[in-house]
Amino acid sequence: MKPKETAEHYILSSSPHAHADVSVRRLMLDVIIALLPTTAMGILFFGMPAVWTIAVCVSAALVTEALCRIAMKRDNTIGDLSAVLTGLLLALNLPAGIPLWMAAVGSVFAIGVAKQAFGGLGMNPFNPALAARAFMLISFTGPMTTWLKPFWWRTPEAVTTATPLAEMKTWFTAEAATSASPHGLYSAATGGLHQIWNMAIGNTPGCIGEVSAIALAIGAAYLLWRRVITWHIPAAFIATVFVYSLFAGGAPAMMQVLSGGVMLGAFFMATDYVTSPTTSAGKLVFGFGCGLLCMLIRQFGGYPEGCSFAILVMNSMCPLINRWTRPRPFGAK
């Protein structure tokens, strides 16, 4: 006998009705797993300062998330691991030797201001970790641009040094003033392929998580295999940086790709679900814009790195890109 139908059998809800067996926690955990190789390399090269920076950033992010949810009288969201990921990403974007209280302030800003002030996960217009990094660059410029030398504990007489991007900026500014050929001089002075290899493995000054391109590539491969991200934004981002470098002259294109935050930004920051476009065409436009702005800042700006600011600017363009590239409904004029 057919059971009597009631109103409970007809539950109406807004589209979409498709369901994927993926949770926010699972996505966040996948990204954290993908970041483990570059985290391990950062600890290997920079030692205990990297460990303490990561621990403080993650802890401060979790505490801030819990306090904000209590103050807002909303459900606790610590279990979705988004705060852990934000703290980890921020730590990987910081110098290992930064004072720990500054790292804590950055995490508080990332969660309290850049995320929860807008309503929490899914409503923030800017990537919280990058917003916090930009805030820290403006507020703590000196410590944010002071870098530990890899394996600094082996040579305590030379604890800090310049990043490859800062060295390139200095070289090209000086050589341009003398009308020399900076490309050849810089390649010869820095050891050519040897320098590129050091940048690939991470034996170079920089932020904790951006120095080892190989470790970042391993993590990126995991994200692509798990289908957490697609190829569109990273490919457009990196290709734009590479092609721009070829035609603009100056530093070798591979050094531009491997240095700074290009690899970390392209695979782990620009691909953030909340602050990046949803369509394939929009992702390509977004990646192209990130790469172009990054190189324009590097070439014409006073700051040698431009990845963070480029992604933040494109975050603000995301609603417009979604509107321009949204597919036309079937049958619509």
Residue 15 has pLDDT above 60, yes or no: no
Res 86: pLDDT: 95
Res 115: pLDDT: 93
Whole-number Cα distances in Å, 161 to 45, 140, 157, 252: 14, 18, 11, 21
Residue 129 has pLDDT above 80, yes or no: yes
Q: How many CA atoms lie within 13 A of 181 on its CB side?
A: 6
Model pLDDT for residues 48-83, shown as the tens digit of each residue: 999 999 999 999 999 999 999 999 888 888 888 999
The torsion angles phi and psi of 177, rounded to 5 degrees, stand at -70, -25
Q: How far apart are CA 205 and CA 148, in angstroms?
A: 6
pLDDT category at 191 given cuts 50, 70, 90 is very low
Res 189: pLDDT: 41
Say whether 114 sits in a helix, a strand or coil: coil
Share of residues in the chain with pLDDT > 90 (%): 50
Res 167: pLDDT: 58
Domain residue ranges of the chain, discontinuous segments joined by +: 24-144, 159-325
Mean pLDDT for 173-195 is: 50
Q: How far apart are CA 50 and CA 98, in angstroms?
A: 9
Q: The whole model's pTM is what?
A: 0.84
Please indicate whether residue 1 or residue 238 has the higher confidence score (pLDDT): 238
Residue with tokens 């700074």: 260
